[in-house]
Structure 1
């Protein structure tokens, strides 16, 4: 299965474009400036526990590698 959520490489403004594949189309969710932004976008997209999928390559493709690292406070 291809990743359903894409987090793009950093743009010139320092943000990461976040999109989700829905019914065969890429739906842009917004520009994230930190991991919390990505989490909020994924919640809005309908994921009930988005923090659980951030490190799962079946769900999330980080273009250019993961932008952030897991928080020690997540658990």
Structure 2
């Protein structure tokens, strides 16, 4: 029996900022905010009506919580692009 996996995985924040995204096991790209993530999902064939970013059955956020795009507490100054 194979283990069930969420179709979208948002990987831990990268040291340089952003998070790598995989869709159905295929690399989709690097997102720096929710808008980037939505665009990567659109390019992968998933429309806004198909995906709710906070749905744990569809999106697995690894290494940091949802909508966190940078490593906090690093030596480099980082900003969160998802906060106006």
Q: Would you call these one fold, judging by a TM-score over 0.5?
A: yes
Cα distance in 2 between the residues matched to 1:32 and 1:50: 19
Q: What TM-score do the two structures reach when normalised by structure 1? A: 0.75
Q: Which has a greater percent of strand?
A: 1
Q: What TM-score do the two structures reach when normalised by structure 2? A: 0.68
CA shift for structure 1 position 55: 0.8
Mark the runs of 5 or more structure 2 residues left unpaired by the alignment. 69-81
Corresponding residue of 2:32: 33
Cα displacement string for residues 29-70 of structure 1 (whole angstroms, at most 9, x for unaligned residues): 1111111000000001111216842011110001122124xx
Corresponding residue of 2:22: 19
Is the contact made by 2:9 and 2:61 (CA closer than 8 Å) also made in structure 1? yes
The size of the alignment, in residue pairs, is 65
Is the contact made by 2:11 and 2:61 (CA closer than 8 Å) also made in structure 1? yes
Query: Which is higher, the Rg of structure 1 or of structure 2?
Result: 2
Question: RMSD between aligned alpha carbons?
Answer: 2.0
